[in-house]
Structure 1
Amino acid sequence: MAGHSKFKNIMHRKGAQDAKRSRMFSKLAREITVAAKIGNADPAFNPRLRAVILTAKAASMPKDNIERALKKAEGNDGENYEEVRYEGFGPGGVSVIVEALTDNRNRTATDVRTAFSKNGGNVGSSGSVSHGFERMGQIVYPASAGSADAVFEAALDAGAEDVESDEDGHVIWTASDALHEVARALEKALGAPEGAKLAWRPKEWTVVDASAAASLMKMIDALEDSDDVQAVYGNHDVPDDVMAAL
C-alpha cells in the first residue's frame, strides 16, 4: 500500500525488543530450553530449535547464553513451561495474537488482560481472531541483503510463497512446514537472516489512525514487558507518518 509499510510495523517491534536486550535474551533462552526439551537437543534434528538459535545469533545473543540454555534443557531443573495463546482486540479494532511460555497460567493471564484493558483493548475467547491469520514461516532480511528483485528471485528459487520488500528490508513468507528448508536455501544465497520463525500472518490488514496507534503500541509494549510473553502479532497497518511520530 502506498504510504504504508507493514515491514516498519514488524521492525518497530524488533526495535522495541532491541532496546530491552536483556529481557529479549531471557525470552530467547527460555524458548531454546523449551524447544530442546520437547524435541531433539541437537539443532540438526530439531527444526524449532534450529530456528530459535538462528534468531538468537541474529540478535547477537552471546554464544555462552545459548549453550547455557541448551544445557539447562538436559538437566531436571524443575522448570516446566507450557505454551499458551491469547487472542483479543486492540485499539482501532486491531486483531491481536499473543504467544506465551509460562509456568504460571494465572500470572500470565493477569499480565495479558491488564495490558489489554489498560490500553483500550480486550481479550477475546480462543479462536476469536486467529481465523483472520495464517500460520506461516517468516524470514526477515535487512535491505542490505539485496534489491527487491534479487531477494524475490532468491526466495522464489528457495520455495518461498511471498515476499514483502521496501527500503527497510525484506520479509519472506513460507509454508509453515517449509520454513527450515527455505531458510537454509536462502542462507546460501543471501547469507544469514535477521530472524526465522513460525509467525501469524494477517489475511487482511487494519489501517490504524494516529489516535489509535499510540494506544496500540503502548498495549503491545506492555504485553512484551511480560517475561512470559514470547511474541505479539497484530493485523495493524500503521501509516509511515504515524509510525514516525510515535
Structure 2
Amino acid sequence: MAGHSKFKNIMHRKGAQDKKRSAMFSKLSREITVAAKMGAPDADMNPRLRLAINAAKAQSMPKDNIQRAIDKAIGGDTEAYEEIRYEGFGPGGVSLIVEALTDNRNRTATNVRTAITKNGGNMGTAGSVSHGFDRMGLITYPASVGDEEKVLEAALEAGADDIQSSEDGHEIWTQPDALHEVSSALEKTLGEAESAKLAWRPQVMVAVEESDAQTLFKLIDALDDDDDVQTVWGNYEVSDEVMEKLG
C-alpha cells in the first residue's frame, strides 16, 4: 500500500495492484488485527481501528474478512507484530520512508535493504530521511465528491490544516492527533473518505527524470510486494509527460 503526495504518480500501478488484491487484503487485515489488539475491538472507541476498517472498505474488502481480522485479535490468535520504520534513498536522490508491521525484524530489514539496493537506492540511518518530512494526518476524497471550493469549506469547518485539489482528487491534511476528529467531521458533510491515515508529508519535492523514474517505480513495487511492508512514502514528483512515456 504505497503512499505518496501526488495521486497521478501512482496511477500507473493501479492495474498491478488489482492483481495483488489478495496480498493487499492480507496487509489490511494485519493492520486491523494490530489496531484491535492495541486498543478496544470496537471501532467507535478505537480511532486507529476505525481508520483501518475504513481503509479496508475503500479497497472493497469483504465484511467477513474485516470481522475475522478483529476476531483474531479478540481471540489472541495472532503473532506479536512490531511497527518498524526504515529510511533510505532511491534513484534521482529521492527520499523514501518505509513503514512495516513484522513478526521478524531481521527478515524484514533484510528484505527492505535488498529491494532498495537492487533498484538503485541506498539504505539510510534512522532520521536520515524523516527530518525532511512532516508527520501528519491525510484524508483523501475522489474528485467526484465536489469542486475545490466545496471541499475547502468542509475541510476548514472540520478543522483541517491544508487541502490540495487536482483532477485526480482531494488531499486534506491535519495534525496527527486531529486525524480521527477531522475525518469524522468530514464524513458528515462529504461522506466516507477513500482513505484516512497517518502520513509522511514531504517538505520539498524532488523532480525525477525519465531515466530514474522507471527504476524508482520498480523499487517501490518491490517494496510493496513484501508482505511486511505496509506503506511507502516518497518525496518524488514525476511529470505527466514522463508518466505517459512510462505507460
Q: Same fold (TM over 0.5)?
A: yes
Partner Cα distance (1:10, 1:194) in 2: 15
Partner residue of 2:218? 218
Partner residue of 2:94? 94
Residue identity matched to 2:154: A
2:65 counterpart SS class:
helix
Partner Cα distance (2:18, 2:229) in 1: 15
Q: Summarize the Cα distance change of 1:131–1:242 in structure 2 as closer, same or farther, 3 Å threshold.
A: same
Q: Structure 1, residues 201-222: CA drift from partner, whole Å, max 9, x if none?
A: 1011001110111000000000
Partner Cα distance (2:204, 2:156) in 1: 23
1:140–1:170 Cα contact (<8 Å) kept: yes
Q: Structure 1, residues 39-93: CA drift from partner, whole Å, max 9, x if none?
A: 1111111111110101111110000000000000012325111001100000000
Partner residue of 2:146? 146
Q: Structure 1, residues 142-189: CA drift from partner, whole Å, max 9, x if none?
A: 110100111111111111111111111111111101111111111111
Runs of 4+ in 1 over 6 A off after TM superposition: none
Residue identity matched to 1:147: D
**Aligned counterparts, 1:105-144, within 5 A:** 105-144=105-144
Q: CA deviation at 1:12?
A: 5.1
Partner Cα distance (1:115, 1:109) in 2: 10
What TM-score do the two structures reach when normalised by structure 1? 0.95
Q: Structure 1, residues 107-148: CA drift from partner, whole Å, max 9, x if none?
A: 111110111011100110011100000111111111101001
Partner Cα distance (2:110, 2:132) in 1: 25
Q: Summarize the Cα distance change of 1:14–1:159 in structure 2 as closer, same or farther, 3 Å threshold.
A: farther
Segments of 5+ residues of structure 1 without an aligned counterpart are none
What TM-score do the two structures reach when normalised by structure 2? 0.94
RMSD: 1.4
> Identity of paired residues, percent?
69
Q: How many residues align?
A: 242
Q: CA deviation at 1:94?
A: 0.3
Residue identity matched to 1:198: L
Partner residue of 1:175? 175
Q: Summarize the Cα distance change of 1:19–1:161 in structure 2 as closer, same or farther, 3 Å threshold.
A: farther
Q: Summarize the Cα distance change of 1:13–1:183 in structure 2 as closer, same or farther, 3 Å threshold.
A: farther
Q: CA deviation at 1:243?
A: 1.8
Q: CA deviation at 1:17?
A: 3.3
Partner residue of 1:192? 192
Residue identity matched to 1:32: I
Partner residue of 1:27? 27
2:61 counterpart SS class:
coil
